[in-house]
Amino acid sequence: MRKLAWVVSTILLAAVPALADDKVTLLTAARIHTLDVAHPLARAMVYDASGKILAVGDADALARQFPRAHRVDAGKATVVPGLIDAHAHVGGLGLAMLSADLVGTRDKAEILQRLRAHEKTLKPGEWLIGGGWDQNDWPEQAFPSAADLDAAFPDRPVWLSRVDGHAGWANSAAMRAVKRDLSGAWQPDGGRIDRDAAGQPSGLLIDNAMLLLEQARPALAEATAEHALQIAMQVAASQGLTGVHDAGITLAELHRYQRLADRGQMPLRITAMADGDSEALESLCRDGLYRHASGRLQMRAVKLYADGALGSRGAAML
């Protein structure tokens, strides 16, 4: 049966018309993984200007089939099918690229150093936003507090998300922007405000408590939010991703994607999951499954939140 399938595929390959223009590319490489169980490896492939693969097989045979194709030799490289990230946050990646990068910081001193460097790019009074810190990478492995930031930034609001996105670290200036008094014994639904023995907020907010700071900071300009999606998709595509499942987007984010798709500025395919507790889910229930005409954008799934995270100490350890 496999031999018959290979014969049939060979016949079909021979039936592919030889396109007589330079919009067809013949790529050769040491190995091309086809994901065809019967013939998992090849040495050449042909694709058109839209990226559609026309044929995969032997280099000499394809050269005869497409004599005028543009040639690209990848040498000893390995070619694999486009990769799909099954759980990512594209907008978050883009905004992280526009903010202070704290990933890999070894202690609070290094964090302050990076924050001071990023502050030089900001306007007076603009919030200093960053993310990627992980207290488990520090010598003391203890959560930080507002006091760690206040000396360096007494007036500029500072808001730093943890590497898992389930906790945030604020200085006093940022907490003063919150309309509700963060002291006392009350807690928001689905979140926790960390407080000291006197009931004063420490500067650490976990899960839904982060919304108190997010809602207090100035609204993100639409142009900036859209730009964040663009640069994140470009980076993802440069790393070999052809598709991303964007987990938990808002309706506003869907609209940004739609505008980019309308302009043909989607370098990869986005499968969006509606935030299960927002207008995006209402839209999905009201209007049904969504798919853009370009085939580059769809929203056919929902992300639900059932618990917190281990690193942020927000999960219920059952």
Q: What is the CATH number of the domain that holds 141?
A: 3.10.310.70
Considering the domain architecture, whether residues 207 and 235 belong to the same structural domain is answered as no
5-9, 15-19, 172-176: which range is least confident on average?
A: 5-9
Q: Are 201 and 182 in contact (CB under 8 A)?
A: yes
Q: What angle separates helix 222-238 from helix 90-97, to the nearest 10 degrees?
A: 100
What would the DSSP string read from start to end of 286-305? HH-SEE-TTSSEEEEEEE--
CA angle at 68 for the pair 66 and 70, rounded to the nearest 5°? 95
Is position 33 within any domain? yes
Considering the domain architecture, whether residues 100 and 118 belong to the same structural domain is answered as yes
Write out the residue range of the structural domain in which residue 140 sits.
95-216
pLDDT, tens digit, for every residue of 147-201? 999 999 999 999 999 999 999 999 999 999 999 999 999 999 999 999 999 999 9
pLDDT at position 11, please?
A: 34
Residues 263 and 267: their CA atoms lie apart, in Å, by: 11
pLDDT band at 2 (very low <50, low <70, confident <90, very high): very low
Considering the domain architecture, whether residues 278 and 176 belong to the same structural domain is answered as no
Residues 230 and 90: their CA atoms lie apart, in Å, by: 9
Report, as an integer, the average pLDDT of 192-212: 97
Considering the domain architecture, whether residues 149 and 253 belong to the same structural domain is answered as no
Considering the domain architecture, whether residues 107 and 207 belong to the same structural domain is answered as yes
Considering the domain architecture, whether residues 105 and 207 belong to the same structural domain is answered as yes
Is position 88 within any domain? no
Q: Which tokens is 110 given?
A: 């290094």
Residue 72 confidence (pLDDT) above 80: yes
Domain finish residue from 37, 53, 79: 79
CA angle at 183 for the pair 181 and 189, rounded to the nearest 5°? 80
CA distances from 251 to 7, 64, 91, 95, 300 (A): 49, 50, 13, 17, 13
Looking up tokens 């200007």 gives 49
Residues 99 and 126: their CA atoms lie apart, in Å, by: 12
Domain finish residue from 184, 216, 248: 216
21-25, 120-124, 244-248: which range is least confident on average?
A: 21-25
Domain finish residue from 197, 216, 235: 216
Looking up tokens 């052809």 gives 242
Q: Are 37 and 85 in contact (CB under 8 A)?
A: no
Report, as an integer, the average pLDDT of 219-228: 94
Q: Where residue 52 sits, what CATH number does that domain have?
A: 2.30.40.10
Report, as an integer, the average pLDDT of 21-25: 80
Considering the domain architecture, whether residues 120 and 195 belong to the same structural domain is answered as yes
pLDDT at position 22, please?
A: 64
Give the number of domains in the chain.
Answer: 3
Considering the domain architecture, whether residues 34 and 70 belong to the same structural domain is answered as yes
Is position 266 within any domain? yes
Considering the domain architecture, whether residues 171 and 191 belong to the same structural domain is answered as yes
pLDDT at position 306, please?
A: 76
Instruction: Return mean pLDDT, the chain.
Output: 91
Considering the domain architecture, whether residues 169 and 244 belong to the same structural domain is answered as no
Segments in 125-209 forming alpha helices (H): 147-150, 172-176
Is position 227 within any domain? yes
pLDDT above 70 covers what percent of the chain?
92
Considering the domain architecture, whether residues 126 and 195 belong to the same structural domain is answered as yes
Distance of CA 194 to the CA centre of its chain: 28
Please report, as a single letter, which amino acid is at residue 168.
Answer: G
Is position 185 within any domain? yes
Segments in 22-130 forming alpha helices (H): 59-65, 90-97, 108-119
pLDDT at position 21, please?
A: 53
pLDDT at position 308, please?
A: 73
pLDDT, tens digit, for every residue of 83-130? 999 999 999 999 999 999 999 999 999 999 999 999 999 999 999 999
Burial label, 281 (beta-carbon count in 10 A; 0-12, 13-18, 19+): buried
Is position 3 within any domain? no
Is position 317 within any domain? no
pLDDT at position 202, please?
A: 98
pLDDT, tens digit, for every residue of 266-313? 999 999 999 988 899 999 999 999 999 999 999 999 998 777 777 777
pLDDT band at 317 (very low <50, low <70, confident <90, very high): low
pLDDT at position 228, please?
A: 97
Residues 91 and 193: their CA atoms lie apart, in Å, by: 26
Closest CA to 216 of 186, 184, 181, 189: 181
Considering the domain architecture, whether residues 116 and 42 belong to the same structural domain is answered as no
Is position 86 within any domain? no
Residues 203 and 108: their CA atoms lie apart, in Å, by: 14
Segments in 120-221 forming alpha helices (H): 147-150, 172-176, 210-216
Residues 265 and 230: their CA atoms lie apart, in Å, by: 8
